[in-house]
Structure 1
């Protein structure tokens, strides 16, 4: 399996960008620097594992985006999008116990992309348009959570075609399990993470999923997949996953973000004040204290933050990764409360770690060190041109220095990073107007870059219009 089908890599990337553009616009989309860094660390290891196994060909490695987009919904879900984009809901991170479990989900979805399942779908349903295929993919995802959704696909005059599509999807899921297991293992993660994750998915769906009508499903029954993974890991002699303090804190952060209601946030604080917390294992205590501190911050309860933060630091003492996450949380809180000096003591703006860079740059701009911030951010975006948040921070840094032309161009690049080429072109045209009015008299190079990028954006906008 793994034949490319009729859809070229370029066409698949464009199809993926259509879907990703809407994902960026979705109110649930979130660029949380701390969680993004943690997920990206796992994701990059899996990509390296796929390359080592030969699953990731040089063509799609170069042409596809390979980006994971986070959603703050508490739904337990992850899905692959054409062109190397993945969607991951925080609700899924929140239920995981180890990085191995999260890696199993990402490896599974990665394998959907490397095995060119979208292209193979197109080959089987060659009378369907690409956008209809995208709709079927989203329908398949819904069906995996509710058999009723899959049953709905079988109604009407297209029942036979839908049944064939469901059968093909089951094969794709089995293949993604098998290939994903190899990729995760190659990346250093325990294959037992797959079994543990399937068991959690089965448990989470047991109230509305009674295992009926397996022939109507897009995904194989979870019990079937558990048995398959168990047999494979027994053959491999796999060691069990090892929980880490850092993952416990990231799962706690995901729970807080994905449950935004005031009552839910207060319940996190109540957990920290529970009399039985002291008798819990250290990892559990740290996760509860992290969630409570973060919830107190989101509730603007400064007194609770001041009370909980020392307890959190004490609970993670001696664990380097845990200490760093507690320090980043304190820096985030200090940044929100305007204590910029404290932020710069807690993070290193020159660090190669994204949260340190972004928190530090914002504190530098507010502290009159915009030049230092812009220099570091410019280096970062040259290496990570699709980092919209970094471009936005760079725009603010240029604005603080009175470099209006560069600020507008950075804002345009932020829009382009989210695939909103029309908005990017509008900003670049505004920059060209500034240049004509004399703003570029001392920055001819920047004006030239703006003209070049404006032509590129015009071409992309025309392509989008033709696709519509």
Structure 2
């Protein structure tokens, strides 16, 4: 991925650079489009409504901002913030979040919350933020930001899914469109600047704290937070989506209660939800009442602690705990933690997995492998369905360890075991790992054959997910290894564009036009595709400049 990173630093977007400089401008207001709370002063005077007679707010705002216009706004915001180093692509955690998210989307469609127009217009894409604070937020167009700290602190998939269902409901009920529509003078650049503040909180805590108490931030926050009616509607609709998707609806009430307790015990800024979305006793009571009614109608909906979903959550929460803060002091703290004496087998596996990842990130491969062996021993006590999940995750962890220790053959063996444990060879985590192994293999016929096979599979991946910057970056390196420079340049341009650097992508295509003046038949086709893509990027760039002025 080094060529892409160099390109991103060499060709910064002027607007993106401005975002970093303006982060101090509105750190609290940046929580604008998401999390779980009503605004402070002005919204405290909002008209109350009973939970069972909430207005259908989404019905009244269709004139404010169309779904297509909202998606365009969301796309432009994402292009402005996509290259922030705290927006991370961890294939395993991303796959887990997307699995939860897809189930909620299906439920939203079945319930009629997501109609055909909204469904086709929006991106419905979650993304991860490297931040230890507990937060999630919705952006225009169906983009959902999830802090790794949120995943790390939730105890069950039901609790995490309840947050995602709430944020999904802000989108489906058109709360974002209404809020933006009421602020007709707010440009997408201004909104992107405020959102960028979310990503700066962990890096500039003093500035963030100052803004919390600054009059300018308070004013912005009262303008941008969701109203109490919107919050209650998101609770109500999100609860229905959560139940339809097959989650334990008690997860929403337990999440509320956990956040409320955290607000009493901890006020160090780790819980942005609690500042921008204060939990009222009414909301918590409503959640409890809905759980009681649901259980009365359908019987107990308790989660299965021995199920596959519980295993995935325990391991991905452990992984998030490491990835959310990779400073040496944080990694050392994780290495010193031990599982309690009464820990379940799954908790023991997760604890050893945390140790393995912390040692891996801390540059201690032998310690990582020792922790991996302990995790495998603990996994023997798991039920069969959980053992399958654990072995896949642990085998992928070993493959990563081996690659870091420059042992590509051993990494390939570990990857083969992960696939044998039930994963598809073309599942994104396994496919990206296969590409890294192919690039790390020693030169020779076998390496070339492997690279060719993985490149073709990656080409299929990017055709399904054209915005997969990581896949495009690996594909660019593979095509370069296979002496196909035109395809390599095209893949690198697509990767840069997927990260929002349209000028950088355009420059690469223009460079290819000059470099390859006598292309063969296959290269002519590839260059034609690149020309078409360049024209599309230039149109996007002009539209961004026009709308941001």
Q: Is TM (by shorter chain) over 0.5?
A: yes
How is 1:11-30 mapped onto 2 (pairs within 5 angstroms)? 11-30=69-88
Unaligned 5+ segments in structure 1 are 211-215
**Offset, 1:20:** 1.6
Instruction: Return the offset for 1:381.
Output: 0.9
Q: Are the equivalent residues in 2 in contact too, given 1:169–1:218 (CA < 8 A)?
A: no
Instruction: For 1:114-263, list aligned pairs within 5 A.
Output: 114-126=172-184, 128-131=186-189, 149=212, 152=215, 169-207=227-265, 219=277, 221-237=279-295, 238-243=300-305, 244-263=310-329
Cα separation, partners in 2 of 1:5 and 1:177, compared to 1, 3 Å: farther
Equivalent in the alignment of 1:456: 536
Greater shift in the superposed pair: 405-414 or 417-426: 417-426
| Aligned position for 1:347 | 415
SS at match of 1:347: helix
**In 2, Cα distance between the equivalents of 1:140 and 1:393?**
29
Aligned to 1:74: 132
Q: 1:410: which partner in 2?
A: 491
Which of 428, 434, 437 is the equivalent residue of 1:360? 434
2:475 paired residue number:
394
- Provide the rounded CA distance (Å) in 2 between the counterparts of 1:153 and 1:263: 35
2 CA distance for matches of 1:441 and 1:154? 58
Q: Which residue of 1 aligns with 2:507?
A: 426
**Secondary structure of 1:79's match?**
strand
2:361 maps to which residue? 298
Partner Cα separation in structure 2 for residue 413 and residue 140 of structure 1: 27
- Asked if 1 retains the 8 angstrom alpha-carbon contact of 2:247 and 2:303, the reply is yes
Q: Matched residue of 1:65: which SS?
A: coil
Q: 1:119 to 1:306 in 2, by over 3 A?
A: closer
Query: Normalization by structure 2: what TM-score?
Result: 0.76
Contact 1:173–1:220 (8 Å) recurs in 2: no
Matches within 5 A, 1:376-387: 376-387=457-468
Deviation at 1:136, TM superposition (A): 7.5
What is the CA–CA distance in structure 1 between the aligned matches of 2:77 and 2:292, rounded to whole Å? 39
Matched, 1:466 2:546: yes
Q: Give the structure 2 partner of residue 90 of structure 1.
A: 148
Q: Is the 8 A contact 2:318 2:351 kept in 1?
A: yes
1:407-453 per-residue CA deviation (whole Å, 9 max, x = no partner) reads: 010011112222322221112212222332x2445422112111211
Q: 1:66/1:332 Cα in 2 relative to 1: closer, same or farther (>3 Å)?
A: same
Q: Do the aligned partners of 2:76 and 2:188 also contact (CA within 8 Å) in 1?
A: no
Question: After superposition, what is the alpha-carbon deviation per residue over 1:314-365, rounded to whole angstroms, capped at 9, x for unaligned?
Answer: 1123421122111111111122222222222232587231110100122123
Judged with a 3 Å threshold, the aligned counterparts in structure 2 of structure 1 residues 353 and 222 are, in CA distance, closer, same or farther, namely farther
CA distance in 2, matches of 1:304, 1:435: 49
Aligned length: 452
Displacement, 1:203?
Answer: 2.4
RMSD, aligned CA? 2.9
Against the structure 1 CA distance between its residues 154 and 421, is the aligned structure 2 distance closer, same or farther, given a 3 Å change threshold?
Answer: closer
